[in-house]
Structure 1
Amino acid sequence: MRTWRVGTLSMGASLVFLGLFLFLSRFLGFDLVHVMSAWWPILLIVLGIEILLYLFFSRQEKPFLKYDFVSIIFVGLLGMVGILFATLSATGIMGKVEEVVAREERSFELPDFSYQMDDSIKRVVLRTVGYQTTIEATDEKEVSMFGTYRIQTAKKEKLITSANDYVYANKKGDTLYINVKTLPNELGPFDSHEEIASTILIPKGVQLEVIGNGNEIMLNPRSLENDWSINGAGSIDVKVAETSNLNIEAVGVGEVNGKDGAWQVTEKGDPSGMEGVERNSVYQSGEGKYHINITNTHYVSLNTN
């Protein structure tokens, strides 16, 4: 009497088919994830064939039926892995995991932004986000912005294709409002790191108000011919020509840095009181006709040349 061990044929055939799929994937460029999620239905076919063979041979003789539990457990585990891959692929999670694994940091250029100014615009209000920003006065009669951005991505395509993707400008009365946008970012476990290094050119004769977001701002007023104010930046680096006609006042700034004697520091308030002491630091070059007021900033550095 022959002994029939159910499960042995299924395990052997499963290993053969899985090995063939993996072998061919090396030479034909098959995606391993797709292989693991697509091959497992063969397990059902193999197991069905084994049952049919048993029924066929059992008509001719009476085999002694035994179950190869190790083989059955192994085949079951392979099937569960295949079903898991298929489920993750169907829900899109596997695609996200593949994308995260294939990510690398890439740098791209920001599409140039420009807004033509006219004599009716007297003031520009600039709202920044948590990226490094350089603000510079220019002789041109337009507000412009350019720079680079760096992201983690598995694709070579640019994330930003037009200036509208990262900046918004709107004129109301005599004021031009400019809002810088954050880059698109995925939430949850698949979030990525991104950063922007941009330069914004402001006509030198226009008043400017900058609303920071705890970010790093670099100012290059050059031949400024109006007043600027910056509020809420994390740190500010000011580059000033000694021949300029500026008065820079940092109110309530935690720390100022520059050449010895460049800043005139005064303190207001009672150190023993509830409000403490407010430190005001002033730098002046020339007659100080035009003012740059800095508030709610932790650190200000002054570079003169």
Structure 2
Amino acid sequence: MRRWRVGNLSSGVMFIILGIVLLASLLKGLVVTEYIFKFWPVVLIILGLEIIAYVYFSKADNSKVKYDILSIFMIILVGLFSIGAYTIYSLDIMSKLSSSINRQEYSTLIEDQEINIDKDIKKVIVDYPTQYTYASLDVKEGINNKIIVSGKGTVLANSKEESQSIINNSKIKSRKVGDNLYIEFENVERAENLNPGVTWVGHTIFLPGNKNIEIQAHNQNINIDGDAVKNKWVVRNSSDVDINIDVDDSLDIFATVVNSNGLKGSVEWNKNNELQDEESGNSYTKGNVKFKEGLNKIYIIECEDVKVNTLY
């Protein structure tokens, strides 16, 4: 008497489909995977036809349709595959995966943006966002009545045009509160979860020399040209701050770093002993370095490293 385990044929078909999927994944650019998951219910149809066919033929030749542990396991396996295929198809994972295989990383320029400054503004506050995974902000001296922001980035996209569109979706907003002007960087689309987006971005901001400046760095890297610092500047919560100083700059730098060896560069720092913050329990090292009369001040607060180098 011939016996047939229910699920043999269906499982075989399922493994063939999985093999095709894996093979297609190795061949870049093929869209066959999308059609495979679109027609996943065929596996269930084959399983149903298999059961009906062997029930029918069992009457003719005294064969038996056998339901044992292995058969039940095969049916469960086919069911799990069907649920998984439905999930993949409904979430559009395969089209995203196929698209991500074809993506390239493009180096893309950010369109220049200009912001006019009213005469009654005394302080400019730059809020550099936390959502940039890899980012840096270069600060240079600008003109008195205007802020200019430019930059570039690397974007994971399907085309140069798409990369340009993604990186230029991020705009610079300004809002006036009293005699303060807030400069805020909008979010960018990051490359994550199989989606196209920015992998790195670097901005250059030209700030006026006749205003006080505050930069909220949010653990990003800040690079400052020493001749841009006029009046009083404050930089808060940066990961690293690099300052390039001309020997003729009249600048007084005060830094508070969370690392005992965080005061670096080609200058000789006047260091204070390690200080303890009673509220937070964190320890800090304070340092100071002065150039010429030190008429312009920059205060760097709670950063990891501060590096000051002189230009000759």
TM-score computed with the length of structure 1 as normaliser = 0.71
Partners in 1 of 2:32 and 2:150 — Cα distance? 39
Change (3 A) 1:89 1:206: same
Residue 149 of structure 2 contacts residue 206 of structure 2 at CA under 8 Å; is this kept in 1? yes
Provide the aligned length of Structure 1 versus Structure 2. 290
1:291 to 274, 297, 302: 297
Residue 40 of structure 1 contacts residue 82 of structure 1 at CA under 8 Å; is this kept in 2? no
RMSD between superposed Cα atoms in Å: 4.6
Partners in 2 of 1:88 and 1:96 — Cα distance? 13
Partners in 1 of 2:45 and 2:284 — Cα distance? 78
Deviation at 1:202, TM superposition (A): 0.4
Partners in 2 of 1:92 and 1:294 — Cα distance? 47
1:60-209 to 2 correspondence within 5 Å? 62-67=60-65, 76=75, 79-80=78-79, 82-92=81-91, 94-95=93-94, 98=97, 102=101, 105-130=105-130, 131-139=135-143, 141-150=145-154, 153=156, 155-156=158-159, 157-158=162-163, 159-164=166-171, 167-185=172-190, 194-209=199-214
Change (3 A) 1:207 1:277: closer
Residue 266 of structure 1 contacts residue 280 of structure 1 at CA under 8 Å; is this kept in 2? yes
Partners in 2 of 1:32 and 1:105 — Cα distance? 24
Structure 2 SS opposite 1:296: strand
Change (3 A) 1:125 1:8: closer
Deviation at 1:64, TM superposition (A): 1.1
Residue 6 of structure 2 contacts residue 50 of structure 2 at CA under 8 Å; is this kept in 1? no
Partners in 2 of 1:9 and 1:258 — Cα distance? 71
Residue 174 of structure 2 contacts residue 181 of structure 2 at CA under 8 Å; is this kept in 1? yes
TM-score computed with the length of structure 2 as normaliser = 0.70
1:268-287 to 2 correspondence within 5 Å? 279-285=286-292, 287=293
Residue 37 of structure 1 contacts residue 84 of structure 1 at CA under 8 Å; is this kept in 2? no
Percent sequence identity is 18
In the other structure, the counterpart of 2:308 is 302
Change (3 A) 1:95 1:170: farther
Deviation at 1:125, TM superposition (A): 0.6
Deviation at 1:218, TM superposition (A): 0.7
Gaps of 5+ in 1: none
Partners in 2 of 1:205 and 1:149 — Cα distance? 30
1:212 to 217, 239, 247: 217
Residue 157 of structure 2 contacts residue 196 of structure 2 at CA under 8 Å; is this kept in 1? no
User: Larger Cα Rg: Structure 1 or Structure 2?
Assistant: 1
* Mean Cα deviation higher: 187-196 or 91-100: 187-196
